[in-house]
Amino acid sequence: MRLLLVALLILLTAVPSHAIAAPPLQGCFSESEIASATSKVAQQEWDTVSLAKLRTMWPRELSGLNCEADVCHSVWSMDRIISGHCECCETFAFQVRSSGSRRIEQLDEVVLNYSARDKEHLVSAARKIGAAIGMSPTDLATIGSANEQNFHWNTITGNHREISAAEVRLSHRGQGWELFLNWGRNLDEPSNGNSP
């Protein structure tokens, strides 16, 4: 038993501290949960994503803003709010268009706010989320090299070629670090099946 404890102690001291994932702050998703949920959203053609469809993909309850006639312009999930400040929450904005007598929502923009105890864990979370939304490994490697960065890439989903963009901001606040990630897409052209 004593030999087992010594071996465990040696193993733990041999693992770099940054390799050990920190638990999320109370009320926040884990990095993996956010990455999994955003990956589902990333795989969709956004002009087909209504609030009802988004709710089937997102693991937390979404509250509406500017909802009229059963159509919402934006919704959010407020997971960790401290003194009125959002430390962990997600906001989804929709474009609303008319089709005959119907009004149709389509996803337009996603804003993710996430907090961690230190910058190292925040950068790790930002990279994991960035990978889930489709950023390239080259771009992911640069996250954290500056506190404000902008990224653009082409995305093919179904029959659409879209230009994706993400603004990533890291900031120190109080005793922790915060990520602001604003992610959007614009339709470029119908895809003919060729890679961008």
127-158 per-position pLDDT tens digit: 999 999 999 999 999 999 999 999 999 877 77
Confidence of residue 162 (pLDDT cuts 50, 70, 90): confident
Vertex 168 angle, CA 163 and 173, to 5°: 160
Would you give the DSSP letter of residue 72? -
Phi, psi for residue 151 in degrees, rounded to 5: -130, 145
Sequence-distant (≥ 6) Cβ neighbours of residue 50 within 8 angstroms: 94, 104, 105, 106, 107
* pLDDT greater than 60 at residue 20: no
- What's the whole-number mean pLDDT along residues 53-77? 77
Model confidence, pTM: 0.78
pLDDT at 187: 67
* pLDDT greater than 70 at residue 18: no
Higher-pLDDT residue of 194 and 79 is: 79
Question: Alpha carbon of 126 to those of 168, 180, 193: distances in Å?
Answer: 8, 9, 30
Helix (H, G, I), strand (E, B) or coil at 74: strand
Higher-pLDDT residue of 85 and 137 is: 137
Contact 78, 60 (CB under 8 A): no
